[in-house]
Chain A
Amino acid sequence: MIQANDLSKSYDQHEVLKHISLTIPAHQVVAVIGPSGSGKSTFLRCLNGLETITGGSVSINNHLLKATDKKKTRLKTIHEIRQDTGMVFQQFNLYPHKTVIENVMEALIIVKKQSKSTAKTVAAQLLKRVGLQEKEDVYPSKLSGGQQQRVAIARALAMEPKIMLFDEPTSALDPELVGEVLKVMKELADEGMTMVIVTHEMRFAESAADRILFMADGQIVEDSEPKAFFAQPATERAQKFLAKVNEF
């Protein structure tokens, strides 16, 4: 479903991602963890073209994006990739000038060219799914962080993505609001969605993910099963990281 081949990303001289190769099959839930600055978010953003790759290639649901592609080909491929992927951001990025339901409807109308009434039905169902049916007509600023992030998940799901990308979805939330977002994500995982989650929630990664990618210095240092990883990480880098995380 997702395939990275020798994927690299650098800004000027600074190499953020170094020759990453991996395959993620359909329905797999992958948690990407690691210290900040390790390139986790950049890696995720390369998967849907929010960052331009500078080396290698990435293939999403058989849409192959190569660093050597001409701009026109690249934009076309990225556009196709984005039809198959949904993304959830750390800062939610809901549209503040639109109500909750309009946030979910927007891409249905603009990208999928659905009629307003069809989009409304779809959006209402999704909001119900994330437990926010009673908030349809309020503006995002009136919602808690957890509620906003659930709307953002509904907005991404509206496009019926085959892959969901989560970029630290709970990092901007008050601790007591983390659970409601993780619950929605867990349900999604149980339904068989292919998911890549950059997260600092170790317990969630352990319980919900099928696979852990531990990144450091722009590389995937460890790629293992959650149980094995959290019981005894293979590399010293990962051991140190986990020790730090569990310090208090």
Chain B
Amino acid sequence: MDLVIDNLPFLFKGAYYTLLITVVSMFFGLIIGLITAIARLKGNRFFRTIARVYVSIIRGTPPLVQLVIVYYGLVDYGIELGALTAAYIALSINIGAYVSEAFRGAIQAVPAGQTEAALATGMTEGQAIRRIVIPQAIRISIPPLGNTFVGMLKETSLVSVIAVTELLRSAQLLIAQYYVYMPFYLSIAVMYWILSTAFTFILNEIEKRLSVY
């Protein structure tokens, strides 16, 4: 226990990176996901196909494989990314696919009458989607997005394999130094759990905030 307390600053630094990677990937994943969802629902055949293939590949391959392709694989083509950058890119692309599925379901859950009403008042299709459909879809998508994000938070542990010192790797480094396992693994488990709970709490609050009607 003392060992853990002595090394808390180091573990906190790991937690900071875990959180940073999660938030950055979430941010870009949301943008990618929204674009992909709209491309799948409203795009022409070309964009629809691209979006569908993207989602299919990402969901059909392990995130660890995606990560090593971005970090190690691209080196073959002269693209050398920093570990953190590679983590951001791989995880953003990964989560974008899942986010797009959440958004797609949510957009489809908004009744067609909403779009029709907006079109009937003279809005263009784009205006109707932006002003009427998306705001309603975002609220509907929060519960599935919450699951995706919590999953994401835990998936960040994968980036320890490309030597980003996030939570899992900081524990491993400490273990290598002190030759005791349990206290460090248990403490990072607790930290993951606290972070997940905090995330869920925040998302619930956002959902409540959006449920004024």
Q: Give chain A's interface residues, CB within 8 Å of chain B.
A: 48-50, 79, 82-83, 85-87, 89, 91, 93-97, 106-107, 110-111, 139-141, 152, 155-156, 158-159
Q: How far is the CA of A5 from the CA of B64 in the complex (A)?
A: 62
Q: How far is the CA of A89 from the CA of B212 in the complex (A)?
A: 24
- Interface flag for B9 (CB, 8 Å): no
A47–B104 CA distance with the chains assembled, in angstroms: 30
The answer to whether residues A106 and B121 also contact, given A50-B116, A139-B212, A139-B213 and a CB cut-off of 8 A, is yes
Given contacts A82-B120, A82-B122, 6 further A-B contacts (CB under 8 A): A89-B120, A93-B113, A93-B117, A95-B114, A95-B117, A152-B117
Binds A, one of B30-38, B130-138, B147-155, B186-194: B130-138
Distance of A199 Cα from B23 Cα, bound (Å): 53
Contacts of A89 in B (CB 8 A): 113, 116-117, 120
How near does chain A come to B122, taking the closest CB pair, in angstroms?
4
Return the chain B residue nearest A138 by Cβ: B213
Residues of A within 8 Å of B136, CB to CB, are 95-97
| Chain A residues whose CB sits within 8 angstroms of the CB of B204 once the complex forms | none
> What 0/1 readout, one digit per residue, does chain B (109-127) give for beta carbons within 8 Å of chain A?
0010110111111111001
Evaluate contact between A110 and B123: CB separation under 8 angstroms: yes
> B90 CB to closest chain A CB, in angstroms?
35
Among B113, B114, B119, point to the contact of A82 (Cβ < 8 A).
Answer: B119
A138 to chain B, nearest CB (A): 9
Is A93 in contact with B116, judged by CB distance below 8 angstroms?
yes
Residue of A nearest to B117 (CB): A93
Q: Please state if A107 and B113 are interface contacts (CB–CB under 8 Å).
A: no
A97-B136, A106-B131, A111-B127 given as contacts; is B120 within 8 A of A156 (CB)? yes
Provide the bound-state CA to CA distance between A86 and B123, in Å.
12
Q: Decide if B122 touches A159 in the complex (CB within 8 Å).
A: yes
Contacts of B117 in A (CB 8 A): 87, 89, 93-95, 152, 155
Query: Would A97 and B122 count as touching, CB distance under 8 A?
Result: no
Residue on B nearest A78 in the bound complex, by CB: B119
Q: How far is the CA of A91 from the CA of B116 in the complex (A)?
A: 11
Asked whether B135 lies within 8 Å of A111 as measured between CB atoms, the reply is: no
**CA gap between A219 and B136 in the complex, in Å:** 38
Q: B120–A85 contact, CB under 8 A?
A: yes
- Contact among B111, B121, B132 with A156 in the assembled complex (CB-CB below 8 Å): B121
Residues of A within 8 A of B48 (CB): none
Q: How far is the CA of A155 from the CA of B123 in the complex (A)?
A: 13
- Which of chain A's residues have a CB closer than 8 A to the CB of B122? 79, 82-83, 107, 111, 159
Assess whether B119 is in contact with A97, with CB atoms less than 8 Å apart. no
Complex Cα gap A48–B116 (Å): 10
Q: Can you list 21 pairs linking A and B with CB atoms under 8 Å apart? A: A48-B120, A50-B116, A82-B119, A82-B120, A82-B121, A83-B122, A85-B120, A87-B116, A89-B113, A89-B120, A93-B113, A93-B116, A95-B114, A95-B118, A107-B118, A107-B122, A110-B123, A110-B131, A139-B213, A140-B213, A159-B122
Cα distance A89–B132 in the bound complex, in angstroms: 16
Contact check, A110 vs B127: say whether CB atoms are below 8 A apart: yes
Question: Which of B114, B120, B124 is A87 in contact with, Cβ under 8 Å?
Answer: B120
Smallest distance from the beta carbon of A216 to chain B beta carbons, Å? Answer: 25
Q: CA A44 – CA B124 in complex, angstroms? A: 20
